[in-house]
Structure 1
Amino acid sequence: MTAQPADAPVVLRVAGRPVARYVTRPELPVRLSPRPYLHPVTTLAGTAVTELSPADHTHHLGVGVAVPDVEGHNFWGGRTYVRDRGPTELDNHGAQRHGSFQLRDPDGFVEELRWVASGTELLRERRTVAATGLTDSAWALDFTFSLTNVTSGPLSIGSPATNGRPGAAYGGFFWRARKENTPPDVFTAGTEGEASVHGARADWLALAGRGSPRSSGTGSGGGWTLVFAGATGATRRDPWFVRTAEYPGVGSALAAEERLPVPPGETAVRRIVTVVADGRLDRDEAAALVRKAVSQ
């Protein structure tokens, strides 16, 4: 058997079933801010719950970390929101470059990445990803990223919201779900609907799709639920960035109301645990599964 290259895509498995493919060195245009990503991610029954470079937002790349403003450099892709000008095409795109794997197993990996823009490394990232079985119909993706400022000066992370566009605090962990004929439902323990959930600092947030022919590129295309939990700790809970009507996507906002400073040599750490379940869960079911996932 021929050994795979060290940076070949990683296939994550739960109980022997493939549930996610992680691409380390994607061949992408500079405008998309090239970066490693997970796609496809599927339920245990095989229903795809991610989308890669869709027509509505070609810079949405499955599951990963994307930041629109690192000291003025775009690691999100697409246009940059400029105060008093709006979305603007700029030659300011950075790239996340796979360095090496410190660990690489069928159920997870530890990776080192370099965030580079204009020929300069700004951030060094350590990314830890693990897939864990929960039940016969649900598993959890545990995703931790640590961003260290490797420059000699201060850096800060911003968003369109901090640059003057209200409600657009995207940037950080981001999951682009597959678009279906009907927008997915979104709810937390105490509220529901995009308008109420977007910007909330809830313990967890669920996105539930009905399943349709458009979502059946992999597996049965049945109903599905994603339950996201920010597990960084009680001292800081980032708001959720949520879209359902325009497109289905969920992220944790690193810079919601103000820029996030990262002084030289210091590190910003975030952990997001996502339950990936077949079927449409109710609140009690979602809460029980996410508690189990976060505690493992």
Structure 2
Amino acid sequence: MTQHDTPVLRVAGRPVGRYVTRPELPDRLAPRPYLHPVTTLAGTAVTELSPADHAHHLGVGVAVPDVEGHNFWGGRTFVRDHGPTELDNHGSQRHTAFQLRDPDGFVAELRWVAAGAELLRERRTVAATELTDTAWALDFTFSLTNVTSGPLSIGSPATNGRPGAAYGGFFWRARKEESAPDVFTADREGEAEVHGTRADWLALAGWGSRRSWGSPRSSEAESGGGWTLVFAGATEDTRRDPWFVRAAEYPGVGSSLAHTERLPVPPGETLVRRVVTVVADGRLERGEAAALVRKAVGR
């Protein structure tokens, strides 16, 4: 892998995220570009790569468990009336080119391929912006265009019969620590109260661990400060997507493209989602989180 394959995002000259375009991964993990490690400005790591509990969780990116029956999430596929099942149905997201590349962001083109055919074409726009001396924002937009001659639809384990498992879309796998992170929105608190709800923003606050940029795995982490991630839907469609949240089993947050029913993507049409994530040192209170979201998103 060359340096060209792993551009580093910087904020105020400091590295805060590495983007891996062509990871060497087995098909079962649904190979795809991802951001990892992502850190706070003070250097606290806030992503996880292929952890033991879910080897197919790859930092920050886009993952969908069911695109017309093809698994772009990785791992087992939930089959109605059978449960999680090992299937040879994994797709891959293939980076093709950067349309723009700067120290603080990039625009990339990707092809979503399964069973030898291209199903979707993606344009991914990622930008890093300084908010304060202790917080920055990751602005992540993806657009998926159906490039086939027929209709496609996006599903999830929930739409296939597993209640509460409507994952699929933007997904951030955070670091698993000794204690589960706190989860809250403007008016709710706790994983059970927040999971599956629609909210302008959602915060995940952990205790912190640090590692150097040369350490690829969490086993090499050292003690560090607390952190808070505040996720905000930045478009009307994104705000309509419920949040998928895990804290006790593992720390992860994502949007739910297919919450209660499959999401159709007719031929030639494009769906767009944008999530802006505040990455802050320290454990923020509600008012602090809301203020940083307003600054990051402009509302």
The alignment partner of 2:96 has SS state of strand
Deviation at 1:8, TM superposition (A): 1.8
Q: How does 1:31-46 map to 2 (within 5 A)?
A: 31-46=28-43
Q: How does 1:251-270 map to 2 (within 5 A)?
A: 251-270=254-273
Q: How does 1:51-200 map to 2 (within 5 A)?
A: 51-200=48-197
**1:67-90 per-position Cα deviation (integer Å, ceiling 9, x unaligned):** 000000000000000000000000
Q: Residue 248 in 1 paired to residue 251 in 2?
A: yes
Q: TM-score scaled by structure 2?
A: 0.95
Is the CA contact (8 Å cut-off) linking 1:23 and 1:38 kept in structure 2? yes
User: Of 203, 223, 242, which aligns to 1:239?
Assistant: 242
RMSD over aligned Cα atoms:
1.8
AA partner of residue 175 (structure 2): R
| Rounded Cα–Cα distance in structure 1 between residues aligned with 2:107 and 2:208 | 32
Deviation at 1:233, TM superposition (A): 1.7
1:273 alignment partner in structure 2 = 276
| Rounded Cα–Cα distance in structure 1 between residues aligned with 2:126 and 2:47 | 16
Is the CA contact (8 Å cut-off) linking 2:158 and 2:165 kept in structure 1? yes
**Cα distance change, pair 229–94 in 1 and its aligned pair in 2 (3 A):** same
**1:75-120 per-position Cα deviation (integer Å, ceiling 9, x unaligned):** 0000000000000000000000001000000000000000000000
**Cα distance change, pair 7–99 in 1 and its aligned pair in 2 (3 A):** farther
The alignment partner of 2:240 has SS state of coil
Deviation at 1:295, TM superposition (A): 1.7
Q: Residue 287 in 1 paired to residue 295 in 2?
A: no
AA partner of residue 13 (structure 1): R
Q: How does 1:188-227 map to 2 (within 5 A)?
A: 188-212=185-209, 217=220, 221-227=224-230
Is the CA contact (8 Å cut-off) linking 2:238 and 2:273 kept in structure 1? no
**Cα distance change, pair 232–218 in 1 and its aligned pair in 2 (3 A):** farther
The alignment partner of 1:288 has SS state of helix
Deviation at 1:272, TM superposition (A): 0.2
Is the CA contact (8 Å cut-off) linking 1:47 and 1:216 kept in structure 2? no
Structure 1 residue runs without a partner (length 5+): none
> How many residues end up aligned between the 2 structures?
293
Is the CA contact (8 Å cut-off) linking 1:12 and 1:18 kept in structure 2? yes
Structure 2 residue runs without a partner (length 5+): 212-217
Is the CA contact (8 Å cut-off) linking 2:45 and 2:209 kept in structure 1? no
